[in-house]
Structure 1
């Protein structure tokens, strides 16, 4: 409510003017920049138990002020204690109690941050950064230090073994022990198991132990698979994982290698191998025959059934491989069927040849892997039925060669034949008696040749017997 009046004289006119309150006017005119002077510290600092923590303190003062001294103090129920002091002229000073745990980072008139090493629960509390300046006096700001405890993480197996076929069983428990604040705990798995509700237990110094169970009905096919215990906590830079491998006990799962649908008499090196997947490993392999005593010449060792001789028809039968471990016994039956080997014959194929003489349909049939034989013009070629057919076919082949040589000779003699009579008229008088005799000999030979072929053929032999 107080006001000041000023009198101004302008062109001999007198006027009165109202001014700001005197206190505000003096503060602006006399102390410029005072609102920029301050001490800056974080509101709260969280440290990990046993680690180091930095307490930052930044000093912001105007240029017309000078920093005389800065210090860090701690308020305790018994009073205030000084940890460290920085003087621009005389340097730094640390109290005896904190001489091995506190040091300045880079002290200056603008920064008096310190590091507190190996923090413990006793270091929880309030810390004050105090600055003394010339003209303004003391400035200060306080921060609170809290402790964060990294939990101890472990996995403990259930009290019972995991046995294939059993009902729901406690597999394992994931635990984050004495964390501050409480940790987040869960199981990560693609198995159809269930996680129990989170179990928490309060511990000293404000810590908490958190646990989660994993319950599952064991199956043998999950043996060797893994699930993971996962823990999340502010003191951890990322999720902490512990893999847990499932150890499921199960009876042998038996298979037989080397089976065939059919075996043949005389087959050698026949072997059947018995294999088993089991946990714990198999202790015994035993081959037996179910329908008869085990035949001689068979070796049963190392889980294999080995025939040390060629197979026989009596080896056909039902065989069994039995495998046993500490959990139980399982077996696998195989049927051994031994047959006579199939005949190794080739299907015959035939080709037809051209007629040897005009006006006949005589053919020569030559099956693969068989001797050639002759057939009549209107009857299909019968199969060979005896030694006589084979001999006749061979003789027939020789006669064919003789016939061809005779025809070639006759053709040659005919080419040498000349005309008799008048040379200029070329009148043909006729062959001589010797030429006629030669022609008759050839025709007689051909007649006898075809008669022989007819007699040696199957049809001719049949007519002869009739």
Structure 2
């Protein structure tokens, strides 16, 4: 129990220390919060701004004086307004004099709020409301006045000449804003931005951003956008534009099919060129001599009215613009006869051949799959099961097989009767060896024979199975024939 009590005392001591620390922080924080002001106030130039201040819970404290102090962004503090209950309000010589007043007249010491009219960008800074109290001393609160100026934003592409050195291709500006604007670029061009800021006399900021790259003909016409973000804007402002890169003409000649033969008419070459600025002139000429008489020139087209040996030459097209000249050439080879042309029939035949190949491949795949499936089915266990053997206990099993002509021609004694159910055949050779008899080299009996006895060495029925009519001649059948209507019983069998 003593340990438990000691533990309670230790916990009580910790809790007491925590309560004292919290109480100290509360009292200290409460003292700091007795001067109530706004943390931040926003204003545009030319407006009137109110800076509120009040002293909460002045009971037990004597307020003697209040002073408003201005602390600029750059510079020293200055007093701009003072109020004493006995001496009244006073406004020292400052840039705000004549524009700053107390909200109430006469001023209230517990609520000494002020207002500044026709605010300027230079009025931005911190405004401190400081109370002189007794006996606690001075207590204060600070408000930041932030001046806003909506900037004027502009952007545009800058024409550049294709080359090997970086050049400015676009410029974006956010002028006379407060606070400083943020400029960004969106483009697929491979370049970089350079941004500078400059502060004006009225404390506004102008931001200029330039986009630079090594310009090429491929960059001409690419999209680029300048995006300006500012506190006075509800959303970023975007300026889309296209890059303008100047370059000499790039020339291409089309129309030559390598099939100019003697007598062919109206063949045509076209000189295509692109450049920035647009090409001004197009000129055709040949490598040697004068242009043949069968050639007609019109703007960027060259037409040969009739092909002959005179046009077996090299044609050159030259295009000029302000930046330079571009040219291209093609050599025409005149043939004695025309080359076979590839018509639509050739394409149809090729397509038909491909189609037939695809169909045959599909059929072959189908046959292979069918054979594979059939083979997999045949490799399995047979699905057919033979019927079970029939039981032969009926007296009808003993009837003579009348359909066997051999049986009908034999004597009655030698006819076969099935007098018992099918049973396994006994190996008689094994029986003889057990009796001590020497085995004989003979052919074994065939159990599958109709009579059960098919010994090549003995053609007669063994004596125990032979039934004679010596005792009763009258019972013997006439001519060895038994009437089918008569019943009979076979002789007994001894085993």
- Bin for the TM-score computed over the shorter chain: 0.3 to 0.5
More strand by share: 1
TM-score by length of 1: 0.44
Bigger Rg, structure 1 or 2: 2
